[in-house]
Amino acid sequence: MQISGTFGGLELARRGLQAGQRGLEVAGRNIAGAASPEYHRQRLVPAAAGSGLALVRERDLLLDGEYREAAAGLGLHGARRDALARVEEVFREPSDYGIQAALDRFWNTWQQLAGAAQDPTARAEVLVEAGELVRRIREAADGLAVRREALDRSIGLKVQEANDLAGQLADLNLRIATRASAGGEAADLEDRRDALLDRLARLAGVSVFHQPGGQVTVYLGGEPLVQGGVAASLTVPAAGAAPVWSGSGAPVRVGQGELGGELRARDQDLALVQGELDRLATELAARVNQVHAAGYGLDGLSGRPFFLVGAGGAQTLALAVSSPEAIAAAAGPGASGDGENAAALAGLRDLADIDSPLAPGQPLSVDQLYRTLIGRLGLDSRAARDAAEAADLHLQSADRQRQSVIGVSADEETLALVQHQKAVAAAARVTTALDEALEAVVNRMGLVGR
Amino acid sequence: MRVTNHMLVETAARALTALRSRMARAQEQVATGNAITRPSDGPARTVTALDLGSARRRVEQADAGAAEALNWLSVSEQQITRMIDMLQAAREAALVTGGPGARDPVSREGVAQTVEQARAAALHAANTRYRGVYLFAGFRTDTAPFAPDAAAYLGDEGVARQEVVPGQRLPVRLPGSRLLGGGNFFQALEGLAADIRSGAPVAGRLEELDRALEHLSSLRTEIGVRLQQVDEYADMNRKADIDLQDRLARATGTELERAVTELAEIENAYRAALGAAGRALPASLMDFLR
């Protein structure tokens, strides 16, 4: 840089003053942003073109990518963990208040009736325990239905949120482009955009590409969600369905993030549990009904079912028998002490001929089916919990790495403040010195003898 | 690595959150005594707990069944003993008629009446109702198995059974037809009384009574054996219940000392983390500049 002419020195001093002041401004800005995790540290560097300083906003695209990947993982496993924890609560196991205990007592009352078919108390107890079993199964089924509806609502809200974020990102893209073309800097807008991208990554797991012009393109499930100033949108076509792209109607391939986690929890984990509970109810009813219909009640009638179950599965389970005399405890008509059919019903406890995807190739009894279901639920929930914990640690680590680059250290900025303050003072000193020197030149030169 | 303010705050916040949730868990374990409060706490242990719980309830039911069985079998044994006693009494009374003092109609009438009373008592025993149930009527528990003339057995052949140990049902009552396995002693007694009155020889009737007595004795022995069986099964049930209780506690319970120690450790760690955060966070360069 060539300094020329009388006032060249003043020009230098002015630049020094300006630089110091800008430095103070940037340090001040950084300190103001220190508490905000979305703020990216800014600093002054020598400008590429000409003289002066340019403002640089710290970022690391690689670390951004790692952070977003970790966030998507935590979103996925965290959402699944929470959903499965809610499903576990429906069953209240292991305890005396769950379905297992009710099943045990149900079988026990048949065994008791087998030895006391003429005893009205024994008959009444069968109805009481059967009623309780039905109540607990229905309660569990209703609880699962409620969880499913809650997931439906949450998925709907998350789809809306994703659309909202996409819209904001497209808008920010435009505004950043406008600012850049007007020659200004857009650090605050870029901070905002990065924060939205972080949230979107956690929400749905997205891939982010920075275009040469400063724009950002966002892909979700391989399809563009945000391109320049244009945002695509998702929609849920019907209650309980999976999200699709609004334009094409094609399904959205979202396997990461909170949205991916809730979809998986609803459409795989919860669906399995609901399906197997339904299977339990229908198989229990079918087997009991078959044996019950072969027996005789105290009224001498035969061929009646004990349970009713509709197409709605476990939620529709009910007792078909309402009076103790109608319980078909006897194997033949006419003898009130005959409990042999009740004995056969009690024996169903050990009959293992139910096929279930939970135990392929291994027929199960009703009790075994229930236990296997609870065991599987426990395993899946535990796995999701562990995965969420690991994902959280991963995210912490990625966050630390990124913060190390983009974060503000108050101590650093304080030192910078001191430094720039001194620089300003020094520049002012230089200006004063030059001023005095110029004073001599301007006011005193050529005044010989005045 | 550059460390920023945000990182310091994050570290402290995460550590405290993690410790708090560990503390909550440890507290829950100590307070409830349960290590497993939901399946995900221990999936395999949960299934074991469900298994053991079911097994326990099953054993409890069988134990109640064993108590019932003892009841029915004891009462049946008592009534058969009564019948044996009555037959013995009738037999002894009939022997008298062979002796010198039994030729006159008055004393013969006395003996005949004794025999008839014995028959009535035996019939009463055979028609015993216990807890609303005719003991010797098979499954037809609401009708008396023998009419006053006891010409035939009116019940059915149903054998009432009771589960006394999981998976094992034992007979607890006899159908009345089995009482008559050594002959219809009611009719024999009726005949005996008539013969005594008429002065006819009674040797044949006495032989019938002997056969009936032998049969009733063997029935009684059969019941005695069964009572012993049930006693042994009841014992097995009790032992099984204790064993299952123990295993259930080990599968789902916490060892209290360990849980309390763990809680104390976590509390200490939490306090230390709070202290560390308190020291690290507030300090900055600002405090040291003019």
Nearest by CB to A115, which of B10, B42, B162?
A: B162
The amino acid at residue A384 is A
- pLDDT on residue B99: 56
Between residues A138 and A182, which one has the greater pLDDT?
A138
Summarised one tens digit per residue, pLDDT across range A205-231 is: 999 999 988 899 999 999 999 999 999
Q: Evaluate if residue A448 carries a pLDDT over 80.
A: no
Q: What is the ipTM of this complex?
A: 0.89
Mutation test of the interface with chain A: which of B1, B3, B5, choosing the one with the most A Cβ atoms within 10 A?
B5
Q: Evaluate if residue A78 carries a pLDDT over 90.
A: yes
Give the distance from residue A448's alpha carbon to the nearest chain B alpha carbon, in angstroms.
50
* Mean pLDDT of the A347-356 span: 96
Question: What confidence tier does B220 reach under pLDDT thresholds 50, 70, 90?
Answer: very high
Nearest by CB to B14, which of A371, A396, A408?
A: A396
d(CA A434, CA A441) in angstroms, rounded, equals 10
Asked whether the beta carbons of A77 and A70 are under 8 A apart, the reply is no
For the record, the structure tokens of A241 come out as: 């369905």
Mutation test of the interface with chain B: which of A109, A385, A404, choosing the one with the most B Cβ atoms within 10 A?
A404
Question: What confidence tier does B225 reach under pLDDT thresholds 50, 70, 90?
Answer: very high
Q: Any idea which of A246-260, A362-376, A429-443 has the lowest mean pLDDT?
A: A429-443
- pLDDT on residue A51: 67
E-state strands within chain B: 129-130, 133-134, 161-165, 168-171
Question: Could you tell me which chain A residue has the CA closest to the CA of B43?
Answer: A378
Question: Could you tell me which chain B residue has the CA closest to the CA of A102?
Answer: B54
Using an 8 Å CB-CB cutoff, list chain A residues near B10: 396, 399-400, 403
d(CA A446, CA B105) in angstroms, rounded, equals 186
* Mean pLDDT of the B93-110 span: 74
Nearest by CB to A385, which of B6, B40, B163?
A: B40
Residue by residue, what is the 3-state secondary structure of B94-151?
HHHCCCHHHCCHHHHHHHHHHHHHHHHHHHHHHCCEECCEECCECCCCCCCCECCCCC
Summarised one tens digit per residue, pLDDT across range A20-56 is: 899 999 999 999 988 888 899 999 888 777 667 888 8
- pLDDT on residue A67: 96
For the record, the structure tokens of A84 come out as: 């499965």
- Tell me if A404 and B161 make a contact (CB, 8 A cut-off): no
Using an 8 Å CB-CB cutoff, list chain B residues near A119: 131-132
d(CA A225, CA A222) in angstroms, rounded, equals 9
Mean pLDDT of chain A: 93
| Region for A332 from its dihedrals, namely left if φ exceeds 0, alpha if ψ lies in -120 to 50, beta otherwise | beta
**Beta bridge pairs of residue A244:** A235, A251
Give the distance from residue A133's alpha carbon to the nearest chain B alpha carbon, in angstroms.
14
Question: What confidence tier does A10 reach under pLDDT thresholds 50, 70, 90?
Answer: confident
Q: Evaluate if residue A160 carries a pLDDT over 70.
A: yes
Neighbours of B148 (CB within 10 A): 10
Range A410-413, long-range pairs (CB < 8 A, 24+ positions): A410/A31, A410/A34, A410/B5, A410/B284, A410/B285, A410/B286, A411/B284, A411/B285, A413/A27, A413/A30, A413/A31, A413/A34
Question: What confidence tier does B201 reach under pLDDT thresholds 50, 70, 90?
Answer: confident
Nearest by CB to A377, which of B39, B161, B162?
A: B39
Express as a percent the part of chain B with pLDDT over 90.
66
Mutation test of the interface with chain A: which of B1, B32, B47, B73, choosing the one with the most A Cβ atoms within 10 A?
B47
How many CB pairs (< 8 A) connect A and B?
Answer: 176
- Tell me if A335 and B158 make a contact (CB, 8 A cut-off): yes
